[in-house]
């Protein structure tokens, strides 16, 4: 779909709070709010260009829940309040900004200009924890989104969409969501993970959009975990969760990795979570593992059977 809109952004901040009954337990020591803050509904127009997924237009947020429950991997555009969403798996993302981009013949992705369009930044504004029913706070609170919290998530390899299908359950509402270069460039852009080439660029870009502090929770899946790792090394973060990461071996399946950056001299402490037979795990050291994706091992790269910030799966994957 090609959108012909003039870029624009409107933020409406409304301060309120309610009990976050479904908030994930912060067992790793992160200090996320005990109550869910509301506000900061974001209205944004998509710039000219082609979106890589279909768009469902709804008259108003009154139609949001029925659309979320009946569609997947689609954009949802609410006409009355000019809000955009992306529904993927058990998550509803509220889009805060779009970007145009171009992928060259070298498969490098240039953000900011081009004939393709995808989200630049989004926020977790709804979720269905383990498929137990949708929690979308805006439906009960005059359209107010969850306010941003001190939590970020980086998406891995996709085809220019913010796909959350392989992410763990229970990423906190209000978490800010970003794409890696591989989110926009897909599998052909994978070689740029080597030597932290694209993760270094991703780290600088995402750090310019989000204020990371010592207590920030950050996680990522697949190539997104490589970007999250680079951010953690650049800043010195200790509340880090990496799922199916190409950077490290499977090890015991769930273990702590401590690493100090040779450039920033800061130290990262990360929980590394890897399924059995995940072909992406440690693939930067042995790229031939990725060949097995064609043999049906892609299911082993799915972390939706894990609860976020836990060290064992709800259901074993690829035992």
Q: What is the pLDDT of residues 262-274, one digit of tens each?
A: 999 999 999 999 9
Give the residue, 212 or 16, on which the prediction is more confident: 212
* Predicted local distance difference test score (pLDDT) of residue 279: 86
**What's the CA gap between 262 and 306, in Å, rounded?**
32
Name the CA radius of gyration of the chain, rounded.
18
Give the residue, 281 or 8, on which the prediction is more confident: 281
**What's the CA gap between 121 and 260, in Å, rounded?**
28
Q: What is the pLDDT of residues 231-249, one digit of tens each?
A: 999 999 999 999 999 999 9
Q: 223 pLDDT exceeds 90?
A: yes
Burial (CB < 10 A; 0-12, 13-18, 19+), residue 295, is exposed
Q: How much of the chain, in percent, has pLDDT values that exceed 90?
A: 71
Q: Residue 238 corresponds to which tokens in the numbers above?
A: 């200790």
DSSP 8-class letter at 307: B
Q: 27 pLDDT exceeds 60?
A: no
DSSP 8-class letter at 1: -
Domain residue ranges of the chain, discontinuous segments joined by +: 2-301
Task: Give me the mean pLDDT over the 91-116 stretch.
Answer: 95
Q: What is the pLDDT of residues 46-69, one digit of tens each?
A: 999 999 999 999 999 999 999 999
pTM: 0.88
* Predicted local distance difference test score (pLDDT) of residue 152: 98
Q: How much of the chain, in percent, has pLDDT values that exceed 70?
A: 86
Q: 7 pLDDT exceeds 90?
A: no
Q: Residue 133 corresponds to which tokens in the numbers above?
A: 């029913």
DSSP 8-class letter at 171: P
Band of residue 200 on the pLDDT scale cut at 50, 70, 90: very high
- What is the residue whose two structure tokens read 């992705």? 109
State how far the alpha carbon of 56 is from the alpha carbons of 64, 97, 179, in Å. Answer: 10, 18, 22
Q: What is the pLDDT of residues 255-309, one digit of tens each?
A: 999 999 999 999 999 999 999 888 888 888 766 554 444 444 678 899 999 999 9
Residues 200, 228 contacting (CB under 8 angstroms): no
**What's the CA gap between 304 and 301, in Å, rounded?**
9
Helix and strand totals (H; E) in the chain:
4, 18
């Amino acid at each position: 779909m090609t959108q012909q809109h003039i870029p624009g952004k409107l933020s409406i901040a409304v301060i309120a709070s309610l009990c976050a009954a479904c908030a994930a337990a912060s067992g790793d020591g992160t200090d996320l709010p005990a109550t869910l803050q509301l506000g900061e509904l974001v209205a944004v127009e998509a710039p000219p260009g082609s979106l890589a997924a279909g768009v469902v237009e709804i008259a108003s947020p009154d139609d949001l829940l029925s659309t979320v429950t009946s569609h997947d991997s689609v954009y949802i555009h609410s006409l009355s309040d000019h809000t955009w969403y992306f529904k993927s798996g058990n998550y509803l993302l509220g889009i805060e900004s779009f970007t145009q981009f171009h992928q060259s013949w070298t498969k490098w992705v240039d953000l900011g200009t081009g004939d393709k369009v995808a989200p630049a930044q989004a926020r977790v504004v709804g979720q269905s924890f383990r498929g137990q029913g949708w929690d979308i706070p805006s439906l009960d609170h005059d359209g107010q989104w969850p306010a941003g919290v001190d939590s970020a998530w980086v998406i891995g390899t996709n085809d220019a969409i913010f796909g959350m299908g392989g992410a763990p359950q229970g990423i906190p509402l209000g978490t800010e969501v970003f794409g890696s270069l591989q989110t926009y460039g897909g599998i052909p852009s994978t070689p740029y993970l080597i030597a932290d080439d694209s993760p270094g660029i991703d780290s600088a870009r995402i750090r310019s959009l989000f204020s990371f502090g010592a207590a920030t929770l950050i996680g990522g899946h697949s190539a997104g975990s490589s970007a999250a790792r680079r951010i953690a090394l650049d800043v010195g973060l200790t509340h880090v969760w990496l799922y199916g990461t190409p950077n490290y071996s499977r090890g015991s399946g769930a273990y702590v990795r401590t690493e100090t950056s040779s450039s920033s001299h800061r130290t990262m402490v990360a929980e590394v979570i890897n399924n059995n037979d995940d072909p992406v795990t440690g693939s930067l050291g042995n790229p031939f593992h990725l060949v097995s994706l064609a043999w049906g091992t892609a299911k082993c790269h799915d972390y939706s059977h894990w609860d976020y910030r836990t060290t064992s799966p709800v259901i074993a994957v690829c035992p």
